[in-house]
Amino acid sequence: MGTWAHLQCGGHLSSNDHQYRVLIMRVAVLGAGITGVTTAFALLEKGLDVTVFDANRYPAMDTSFANGGQLSASNAEVWNHAGTIAKGLTWLFKRDAPLSISLRPSWRKIAWLAEFIANVPNYRQHTIATARMAVEAREHLLHMAACAGVDFDLERRGILHFYRDRSSFEHARAVTELLREGGVDRRPVTNQEIHAIEPALSGDFYAGFYTASDFSGDIHKFCRGLAQTCERRGVTLRMETQIHGLRTGSDGVSVLSARGSGQVEPEYFDAAVICAGVGSRTLASMVGDRLPIYPVKGYSITVQLTGNEARHGAPTVSLLDEQTKIVASRLGPDRFRVAGTAELNGENRDIRADRIQSLLNWVRDLFPAINTDHVVPWAGLRPMLPGMMPRIGRGDAPGIFYNTGHGHLGWTLSAATAQAVAAAVTAASAGTARRGWLCPV
Ligand SMILES: Cc1cc2nc3c(=O)[nH]c(=O)nc-3n(C[C@H](O)[C@H](O)[C@H](O)COP(=O)(O)OP(=O)(O)OC[C@H]3O[C@@H](n4cnc5c(N)ncnc54)[C@H](O)[C@@H]3O)c2cc1C
């Protein structure tokens, strides 16, 4: 099970002359997106023996591939609000609205929506808790990037939300109070101030909110760089490896996986952390846990900024347009990422042309100097729980832990939730150590 490490006594372990063997806990991390890679790093920092599994050939090829780029405590408001649901109902019949729900009947979708509505009373508490997590995540993310020396096109220029009408701005004013309780400080700005903060943005707006402490960056570059550092420091990456089963017992967790078209083989661990994005629901069901994650699809375009006019015409401050629910982030000198839409249509990764067209139109309207002849479209599935809070910590089955279900804020929250789950795993290992994991030879 665990890895035996031989330690010569006389160091900090014992004052005697004996030799000791320390059993290091072996942990499997299931999934190599942002939640899996940050969890692997946090566990490694705690001195555990970590193996990461993923079906893809490289880390961060699923939802953590081309998202909106925002590390946004200012976007911590959960969507379980009566006003948001009322607005959502009017969007159902508009083709280019920010929300789209497939009318194909599905028990899973109906049950998820019912639980989503049942969470309206938790709106306030969940928004404040999310804001707190997002603020805590900032320093962990920067620490991880510094330790790993990762360049991920970090832009520390804040996030600017802008509103086109009075009622949405007034709602945002109320949200600002909740964010403040969670430790996020954002300030109201006039139309004139909006253009002073981001001169490339054209159009007139009712007003905005600016959060100077938020930032943005490329999730994919971050994950790839951090995964490489983990591997260099001893983490085993089992890529192109599909997990087919999980068995738990008093002696640990057995992960049943197959590499490529190979045979399914078991591998034994003391614990496993489920970080499998929209795949987490299936893995949880293998150990008897219910995890009602629904895949909420979103789209992005990455605009290649060719030539000086496009580079100067693109924003450097990260943006959120409240009416269209579109977010945008500058990624280094040559790329501009624009993302939006919440589509409930099962595990469907098709890229819809009309959704991409809405993102392109938004760029052309608000940034007319940007040339959109070189654009890469993408779609990804947000792993969303109905209460919009991630599941973090111990599961019901022995040895099973979760760090998953981060929905629209996985990039923003993962560095903090990885610390929380690593602490839960080490607390469990401390219990085990008391049962004799430190053994004289
Ligand atoms: C359009 C869009 C814009 C977004 N913008 C933002 C933003 O601006 N800011 C923000 O904070 N968040 C944003 N998000 C959300 C964020 O991207 C996600 O929350 C985050 O990427 C989810 O990470 P994850 O690790 O949970 O899942 P993933 O990145 O999907 O990783 C899960 C991994 O598990 C693997 N896996 C699953 N099942 C198995 C199995 N059985 N065997 C082996 N491997 C398995 C998959 O291959 C995958 O690699 C956005 C999302 C979308 C779609």
Among protein residues, the one whose CA lies closest to atom 16 of ligand 1: 410
Count of domains forming the chain: 1
Report the distance separating Cα 77 and Cα 320, nearest Å.
Answer: 13
Site to probe by mutation for ligand 1, drawn from 72, 382, 413 as the one with most ligand atoms within 8 Å of Cβ, is 382
Please write the tens of the pLDDT for every residue from 315-353.
999 999 999 999 999 999 999 999 999 999 999 999 999
Q: What is the pLDDT of residues 40-98, one digit of tens each?
A: 999 999 999 999 999 999 999 999 999 999 999 999 999 999 999 998 888 887 878 89
pLDDT tens for residues 192-227?
A: 999 999 999 999 999 999 999 999 999 999 999 999
Instruction: Write out pLDDT tens, residues 30-48.
Output: 999 999 999 999 999 999 9
Q: What is the pLDDT of residues 353-379, one digit of tens each?
A: 999 999 999 999 999 999 999 999 999
CATH number, position 237: 3.50.50.60
pLDDT of residue 15: 40
| 383 Cβ inside 6 Å of ligand 1 | yes
Q: Which is nearest to 333 in space by CA: 314, 347, 352? A: 314
For the Cβ of 295 lying below 6 angstroms from any atom of ligand 1, the answer is no
Reading the block at residue 46, the tokens are: 């705690």
Answer yes or no: is the C-beta of 69 below 6 A from any ligand 1 atom. yes
- Kindly state if the Cβ of 216 falls inside 6 Å of ligand 1: no
Give residue 69 CA to ligand 1 midpoint distance, Å.
12
**Tokens matching residue 304:** 């290649």
Which domain, by its residues, includes 266?
3-440
CA nearest to 330, candidates 302, 309, 355: 302
Q: Is 258 in the pocket of ligand 1 (CB under 6 A)?
A: no
Phi, psi of 25, rounded to the nearest 5 degrees: -65, 135
Given pLDDT bands bounded at 50, 70 and 90, which one contains residue 431?
Answer: low
Distance 276 CA to ligand 1 centre (A): 8
Q: Which amino acid is at 252?
A: G
Burial of 4 by CB count in 10 Å (0-12 exposed, 13-18 middle, 19+ buried)? exposed
| Residue 407 CA, ligand 1 centroid: distance in Å | 8
62 C-alpha to ligand 1 centroid (Å): 6
